[in-house]
Structure 1
Amino acid sequence: MVSTHRSRVRPGRLGVGAAVLGLVAAVFAAGPATAVPDPGDSPTAPQKVTQRDQEQTKRAIEKGEIPGQDEIVHSDNITHLANVPKGALQGTNSDLAFQGKYAFAGNYDGFTVYDVSKPAKPKVVSQVLCPGSQNDISVSGNLLFLSTDSSRSDDSCDSTTQPATEKDSWEGMKVFDITDKRHPEYVAAVETACGSHTHTLVPDGRNVYIYVSSYAPDASFPDCRPPHDGISIVKVPRKAPHKAHLDSFRGLFPDGGFPGDPARPEKIETTGCHDLTAYPKLKLVAGACMGDGILLDASRPDKPEVLDRTRDTENFAFWHSATFNQRGDKIVFTDELGGGGAPTCNEEVGDEKGADGVYELKGKGSDRKLVFKSYYKIPRPQAETENCVAHNGSLIPVEGRDIMVQAWYQGGVSVWDFTDSSSPKEIAYFERGPLSETSLVGGGSWSAYYYNGHIYSNDMAKGFDVLRIDDPRTDPAKRVRLGELNVQTQPEYFG
């Protein structure tokens, strides 16, 4: 049993954030000072829900089945240490990366650098204004990488939205020098087919290879036409990042991949990949590619080869992301049913759709196969006004156990144990009540990752949260220290 703690939080008084941003609200724009946040990259407008759903949400709050608006609920083994609300960047918060005492947080309008040397008192170091959803983010040494997946007028940080039907529109990867965390410097841009929805770093000595995931080609888009059956690979020389360039486009689905199901429109056709996770030590990459889950051999980072593919024709709608366990003999795939914009954590949808799928790797070498074992979905009901679905998470490094922390949008943050592949269980959680009791408003935790003793969550609407978990099952992880963490490039925590 996971016991619960509840606390009512007043709007506008969420932890230390207001004081912090009042002191350091200056924006260090990577482009010209005229750059402004792009209204096209703002969260979607609220959607009214039916009177029935409004009444159902109200009853659930009155009965204490779900937290109320502006209420925080968490298990007794979780402590909410801090929240930093959004500052100058008012777009949707997205992914996270870490290096030393810094956390780097993506936002549709750019990115923020936080000093987390004192996790209970995170400080904003700089905010870089560079619109271009979804600004998926990663770091390696003195370099930072951003994904641009919205059609822009050019590759600068003061670009504006421009139709993808225009040949000179731009989407792709941006590279920054972060030697000076207070003044990141924009040094390179590489255009890629269909842009870059997400990206994954695959280090290779003097170079960093970037596997760029993108999808949804359209015959009317000059730079994004079907078939789009693979990933772009960008090569960045560490000592000369300004020479970053497109190395190749690697096809992964010569047969076109999953064709979709006309009878079930929620099941998405494979037209590229949504996200990849590399495990460099094992030279493996797991891919979540819309209608397919894949396993790649990355012995040659410039030429990954498909080892196995799998599908879930019954429950998975959109293969979204992947996480290896420490031994590399399991992979957790997520299903982003409804694209993250729907209330799918309810009784009507059930506990197998919009969930995680736990797979084991069987066999050796080129004969390795993905074998399904079970589903995991948060056991706590959510309101009809809350978008909720499996999203980004990371391992909590405990030797001999498989424990993961994960974001579920407005379902909050879940810590769960999948050591027993057939019977995963939640052991801790943190969540807020719905952003609205009358409308479906997009929000919640986009990414929730464990780094050097704490959990960091980037909430799409509420800002940057810091949590601490105190539990005998996870306490050994507090002794593990990393110098850098990109969750989609998994480290080997134990030799």
Structure 2
Amino acid sequence: MSHPRRALVLAGVAVAMALTALPATAGDIPPPDTVVTSPNVSHVLNIPKPAPIAATINTDIAFQDGYAYVGNYGGFSIYDIRNPKKAAAVSSVVCPGGQMDVSVHGNLLFTAVDSSRSDDSCNSTSQSASVKESWEGVRIFDISDKANPKYIKSVETDCGSHTLTLVPGKGADRNKNVYVYVSSYQPATNFPDCRPPHDKISIIKVPLRNPAAAAVAATPVVFPDGGNETQPGLLLPTSGCHDITAYAEKDIAAGACMGDGVLFDISDRLNPKITARTTDPNFAFWHSATFSNDAKKVVFTDELGGGGAATCNEATGPTRGANAIYDISNGQFTFKSYFKIPRYQADSENCVAHNGSLIPVKGRDIMVQAWYMGGLSIWDFTDAARPREIGYFDRGPRADGGGGGIWSAYYYNGYIYAADFNEGLDVVNITDRLTNSAKNVRIDRLNTQTQESYRNSGHG
């Protein structure tokens, strides 16, 4: 979503024909608040937001050992999903600060705070970034007791932490440290800790045996000559990155950096280097990235309208606000095609390409992705030039005319989990010949911005 510090905007045919052959029309929009799915998708369960954070919106999700950790602008919640059909909330921590994107590693939960606060505590209040004493950055919690998480450390970072990415150490360092790549942007001359130019990321080094010693270890400048700042139609000029996805075992990362899509060499964890860079006049805001399992492709998302606009309607069309699929060959990007959900949404529905993950199907490239009020889409980009939707879960427009939708949708151990702004946590199942083999894949941990290969996660 666009920067919360300033101007957060919220606030009977064959299925193959329905999904790929016939153009969508406004008449396909479902009734208000109605759940609709493709025939191969079923709604297993909805878990409303726990009372302590019911008034604020859900954001990102991380998974570990049969538990889901769901971020929320008011804090985060832990869910027991070991039996997905009986998934339930275990605890909630009230600790406000947008966006509260989350990642997990062992007994540590990392949360991103990109809203300027009066201090680093969970009792802080909103305070302008123009005040030197204001705080924003990364909070670290001990989650060894899931019913009673403990806040153990904060690390302040320049311009806060819009998103964060965990990157494990290499070799002998792997079991000693984890690195947190912090993406932040939108500096201003009157912000003492967030002044332009801000063409960098912050890297926090976390000693796993002493996480309270976590500290910023490097602030590499990724755009020494400046990023894409003048392209017509950009939501914001490049001033850092919005999101980074690391594929650590391959020593690469993909950066969605506002006006730029980039490929990093992260073989030196504290000194990532851009090895390829691309722009697209059709893109308004490079939001996030997902590699194919073999890292020969990457999908970049465009957050057209910043998340608050109706960009999945007939007026916007099929390519603006779409994902862009690139081949990666000889370390360079080659554009192949766009993909956008083929189901038009109402003009009252904020709809945009957002967070998703691969579905671990050997030999194919399939992912599930959130589209805010466009619901979630399951789509196949094995043929990068001809991507197609193979399933979906959606809700009709909100009866009260308000916004919202699904922020993140990820596949974990046989089911799809979706964090909805207002509705809570949805558990969704897909039964399809293209994806059924993924149900045999079991992994311990999933942070979608820290990709691991299927083989490393248990897929033969």
Task: Indicate whether the TM-score tops 0.5.
Answer: yes
The alpha carbon displacement at 1:466 in A equals 0.2
Which of 230, 239, 251 pairs up with 2:221?
Answer: 251
The equivalent of 1:298 in structure 2 is 266
CA contact (8 A) 2:234 2:259 kept: no
Question: One-letter code of the match for 2:73?
Answer: Y
Structure 2: distance between partners of 1:122 and 1:202: 29
TM-score normalised per structure 2: 0.92
Q: Deviations over 1:394-443 (max 9, x none)?
A: 00000000000000000000000000000000000000001147x4x220
Q: Deviations over 1:303-333 (max 9, x none)?
A: 11111100002x1000000000000110000
The alpha carbon displacement at 1:376 in A equals 0.1
Matched, 1:349 2:305: no
Question: Unaligned regions of 5+ residues in structure 1, if any?
Answer: 1-38, 47-59
Question: One-letter code of the match for 2:358?
Answer: L
Which of 333, 343, 350 pairs up with 1:370?
Answer: 333
Matched, 1:316 2:283: yes
Structure 1: distance between partners of 2:85 and 2:428: 8
The alpha carbon displacement at 1:351 in A equals 1.0
Matched, 1:489 2:458: no
The equivalent of 2:19 in structure 1 is none
Which of 201, 208, 211 pairs up with 1:238?
Answer: 208
SS at match of 2:261: strand
Which of 212, 219, 225 pairs up with 2:195?
Answer: 225
Structure 2: distance between partners of 1:399 and 1:274: 30
CA contact (8 A) 1:41 1:92 kept: no
The equivalent of 2:349 in structure 1 is 386
Check 1:371–1:460 CA distance in 2 against 1; reply closer, same or farther (3 A cut): same
SS at match of 1:251: coil
CA contact (8 A) 1:42 1:91 kept: no
Structure 1: distance between partners of 2:309 and 2:354: 13
Matched, 1:116 2:116: no
Structure 2: distance between partners of 1:267 and 1:110: 28
Structure 2: distance between partners of 1:467 and 1:99: 18
Q: Deviations over 1:235-270 (max 9, x none)?
A: 110010000001111101011100133xx3444310
Structure 1: distance between partners of 2:165 and 2:397: 32
SS at match of 1:151: strand
Check 1:325–1:96 CA distance in 2 against 1; reply closer, same or farther (3 A cut): same
The equivalent of 2:14 in structure 1 is none
CA contact (8 A) 1:43 1:92 kept: no
Matched, 1:408 2:371: yes
Structure 1: distance between partners of 2:98 and 2:380: 32
Structure 1: distance between partners of 2:76 and 2:396: 26
The alpha carbon displacement at 1:302 in A equals 1.1
Q: Aligned residues, how many? A: 433
Structure 2: distance between partners of 1:186 and 1:98: 19
The equivalent of 2:20 in structure 1 is none
The equivalent of 2:152 in structure 1 is 187
Alignment of 1:74-93 (within 5 A): 74-87=37-50, 88-89=52-53, 90-93=55-58
Structure 2: distance between partners of 1:212 and 1:477: 31
The alpha carbon displacement at 1:41 in A equals 12
Deviating 4+ runs (over 6 angstroms): 39-43
Question: Unaligned regions of 5+ residues in structure 2, if any?
Answer: 12-24
CA contact (8 A) 2:10 2:308 kept: no
Check 1:272–1:323 CA distance in 2 against 1; reply closer, same or farther (3 A cut): same
Structure 1: distance between partners of 2:445 and 2:240: 29
Question: One-letter code of the match for 2:161?
Answer: S
SS at match of 2:85: coil
Structure 2: distance between partners of 1:42 and 1:423: 36
Structure 2: distance between partners of 1:125 and 1:236: 27
The equivalent of 1:170 in structure 2 is 135
The equivalent of 1:56 in structure 2 is none
CA contact (8 A) 1:143 1:178 kept: yes
The equivalent of 1:457 in structure 2 is 418
CA contact (8 A) 1:257 1:271 kept: yes
The equivalent of 1:479 in structure 2 is 440
Structure 2: distance between partners of 1:324 and 1:260: 28
Structure 2: distance between partners of 1:336 and 1:41: 16
The alpha carbon displacement at 1:120 in A equals 1.2
Which of 167, 179, 182 pairs up with 1:212?
Answer: 182
- Measured on the aligned residues, the alpha-carbon RMSD in Å equals 1.7
CA contact (8 A) 2:9 2:307 kept: no
TM-score normalised per structure 1: 0.85
SS at match of 1:230: coil
The equivalent of 1:16 in structure 2 is none
CA contact (8 A) 1:231 1:250 kept: yes
Check 1:403–1:45 CA distance in 2 against 1; reply closer, same or farther (3 A cut): closer
The equivalent of 1:326 in structure 2 is 293
Identity %: 56
Structure 2: distance between partners of 1:340 and 1:482: 31
CA contact (8 A) 2:10 2:404 kept: no
Q: Deviations over 1:42-70 (max 9, x none)?
A: 99667xxxxxxxxxxxxx88x4x111111
SS at match of 1:477: helix
Question: One-letter code of the match for 2:340?
Answer: K
The equivalent of 2:15 in structure 1 is none
Which of 117, 131, 136 pairs up with 2:101?
Answer: 136
The equivalent of 2:244 in structure 1 is 276
